[in-house]
Amino acid sequence: MSIHGKNFIGNELSALGDKSNKIYDINSNEALEGDFFHANKEEVEKALKLASDAFVVYKQKSQIQRAEFLETIIEEIMNLGDELILRVMSESNLPRPRLEGERGRTIGQLKMFANLLREGSWVEASIDTAMPQRTPLPRNDLRKMLRPLGVVSIFEASNFPLAFACAGGDTASALAAGCCVIVKAHSSHSGTSELIASAIITAVKKCNMPTGTFSLLHGSGRTVGQDIVMHDVVKAVGFTGSTYAGMELFKLANTRKEPIPVFAEMGSINPCLFLPSSLKDTKKLAAIYSFSITLGVGQFCTKPGLIIALKSPELNEFKKDLALEITKVKPATMLSSSISKAYDDNKNEALKLKGISLLSSAEEDNLKSQGKATIACVDASVFVKNPDYQEEVFGPYSLIVECENKNEILEVISSLSGQLTATVMGEDNEMEEYSSHIYALENKVGRILFNGVPTGVEVCSSMQHGGPFPAATDSRFTSVGTGAIKRFVRPVCFQDCPRSLLPLELQDKNELNIMRVLNDSNTRDAV
C-alpha cells in the first residue's frame, strides 16, 4: 500500500494540518515515502468525539466479539507482508530477524488477549443474589465485575516500533478491555505506524466495530499529545519511554479537572548483584553480560546498567574480562540520530561524575548515530552519596559499583530508586546468606531474577513489567502480560439491576458457577 502521511480519524484518512515532516532512511538519509501531517485541533477534536461515541457501542460488545476483532487485526497485520518489515528497517535500522521476531511478539500479544477474552474469567464477575427474607435486614441483589474505563490514549515507544507501538501491548490490552484507543504516533517510525493503523482500521470495518474504535494521530507530543491528554473524553494514558516525557504526561494529567491515570513505564538501570560465587568463571560471566549490555545497542529498558559486587581479586579479573569483551563490540547504529546524541551526552555527563573510572570503551569509527559500548566503575562509598550516579544512560553503558563489605552492598541497594528488574547471580546456598540483601532488592523492583540477564521480557500471565517509581508511575500494574488489561478497567457493582441491562457475565449465577468450575478444571489440566 502507499504511505499517505495522513491521520486516521476513525476509519478515514485526514490531512488538514498545515505542518508536515518527512521521514528519512537512517542509513542512506534518503527521504522515505510520505509527508506526515501533524493533526490540528479540529482533527484531534473529531477523533476524540468519534471515540467517545464509539465507546458507548464498543463496550457492549461481547468478549467473543472483541476476541474475533483482535484475531482479525492479526490477520491484517500479517497481510502487510514484507512491506511492513522493510519499512521498519528503513526507519529504525533494526535488523530483519529482530523485526520478524518483534512482529511475532506483537501477534502473540494480540492472540494472548484474544484467548483471555474467550476464557472470560479475568472480569472477576461476582454475584450475591438477593436475600429478601434475611433478618434483621434483607439483602439486595448485588453483582460486580470489571468494566472498561473509556477512551484510552496510547503513546508509541521509540525502541519497539511494533511490540510497544500502534498495535502493541498497550493498544491490545485496551481494546481487549473494551476501551476505544487513540494512538499518538512516534515521529521516528511514522510510516510503520500508518501501515499498522491501516490493518487495525480494516479489522474495525470487517468486524463491524463502531467508527472511532481506533484512531492514529501524527504530531508533536507537546501539542497533539497534550491536546489529547487534556481532553475530558480521555480516561487513561499508556506510555513507554523516558522518565522526563513520562513525568510530563503524568503531571499534565493531574492538572485536569478530572485527573486520570497515566500508566507510564519509564527509566531503569536494572541492578545486578554479583555474589562472590558468581565470579568463579569470570570470562564466561563477562561474555554473558557484555552481550546483554550491548544487545540492541543497549536500547532495551531492561539492559543491565548497574553491577554491584564485593571488592576481590576475582572482581578485578571480571573487570578485565568485561573490558576486553566490550572492546570487541563494534559500534552499531542506534534507533535515531536524536537517541544517539542523547546517549553520547548522557554518557559523557556520567563519566564526568566524581570518582567514576572508565574501564573500557569500544573503538571509534566515523559513522554517524553509532552507539559506542562503555563500561565504568565507582566505589560504593561515592555512589550512595549522589543520586546522579543512578541516572539511566539509554544505550550500551553500564556501571560497576565496588563494595568493601556486605553492609556496604546493603547501603547501595537501599539507596536505589525504583527499578523494572533486579538480578542476583550466585549459588543457592550463598543466596541464603544474602537473603536480607535479596529481600531489600525485592522492595525496589517489579521483577527479580536469578542467575540470568534481565534483557528479554516473556509475554505471559506471570510477567511483571513495571516497578516502583520512577520505573513506572504505578507499581501495581504491568505493561506486559495478561495483567496489562487491568490498567484499563474498573470495578462496577450493579444493584437490583434488570436482567436485560446486566452484562452477560452477571446474568446468571448458575452459569457463573459452571464457568468457574470449567476454569478450575482447565487450570488443573494445564498444571
Q: Which residues are catalytic?
A: 265, 301
432's enclosing H/E stretch is helix 428-433
**β partners of residue 152:** 181, 236
Using CA atoms, how far residue 474 sits from 105, 158, 261, in Å, is 24, 21, 9
Q: What single letter denotes the amino acid at residue 423?
A: T
Q: How far apart are CA 301 and CA 77, in angstroms?
A: 25
Q: How far apart are CA 223 and CA 246, in angstroms?
A: 15
Concatenated DSSP letters for 263-320?
A: EEE-----EEEE-GGGGSSHHHHHHHHHHHHHGGGG--TT---EEEEE-SHHHHHHHH
The alpha-carbon radius of gyration of the chain (Å, integer) is 25
Nearest to 191 by CA among 49, 279, 92: 92
Which residue's entry shows cell 481532553? 231
**β partners of residue 360:** 375
Judged by DSSP in three states, 69 sits in helix
What's the DSSP call for residue 362?
A: P
Q: How far apart are CA 113 and CA 115, in angstroms?
A: 5
Which residue's entry shows cell 569470570? 282
